[in-house]
Amino acid sequence: MSCELTSNANHTKSSKWGLFFVSVTGGLATVLSVICIPFVSPALRKVCLPYVPATTKQVDNIINALSGRKGTLIDLGSGDGRIVLAAAKTGFRAYGVELNPFLVAYSKMTALTQGLSSNASFFRGDLWKCNLANYSNVVIFGVSQMMTELESKFRFELETNTFIIACRFPLPNSKPLATIGHGIDTVWVYKMPLENIDS
């Protein structure tokens, strides 16, 4: 009789630990899913623009490409905001559009702590739905699959004399005004209206 009681008590204890373990792991899985959704969901889109932070050299090359320019600037897929913040420091009224709400929040906080909130703004949005007509400088860290469609968007929306800085991948059908850097740090500088490669 006493053996049965001990066995039942042990079984109840094991069940409680099992329930606790399932609750904890289930809770952690839920929290991780909520955190990861903004990072993973862009990969489910037709053309994925992954978050890859710009190197210091890439940022330097972009700022070098913008030398002598002024006005407004937009970074399409602004990530952690480092390009927008660097542009704001040099006098641009700079904007970043980014799908990931955590990166938008991080960028806003960084701008605030660096005292750049008056010149650097970030908003959550889809770069394909963003009208670019009011910007005099555009920066894009694209992927090869999106550059042709993006090139068409630029031709349709951007005003004459707008500068486009393409990083990592050039616009496939347009002749750059200049190429700065090499390897993954290369930036291609274009000016509207875009000049066709074969012209």
The model's pLDDT over 78-130, given as tens digits with 9 standing for 90+, comes to: 999 999 999 999 999 999 999 999 999 999 999 999 999 999 999 999 999 99
- Residue 66 CA to residue 135 CA, distance in Å, equals 14
Decide: 163 and 189 in contact? Cβ < 8 Å: yes
- Backbone conformation region of residue 106, classed left if phi is above 0, alpha if psi is from -120 to 50, else beta: alpha
51: in domain: no
Q: Structural domain of residue 26, as residue ranges?
A: 2-44
Look at the chain and report how many structural domains it folds into. Answer: 2
Q: Clarify whether residues 31 and 75 are in a common domain.
A: no
Q: Clarify whether residues 31 and 110 are in a common domain.
A: no
Q: Clarify whether residues 18 and 100 are in a common domain.
A: no
The model's pLDDT over 126-144, given as tens digits with 9 standing for 90+, comes to: 999 999 999 999 999 989 9
Nearest Cα neighbor of 86 from 53, 131, 39, 124 is 53
What is the value of pTM for the model shown? 0.76
Q: Clarify whether residues 33 and 94 are in a common domain.
A: no
Q: Clarify whether residues 18 and 111 are in a common domain.
A: no
85: in domain: yes
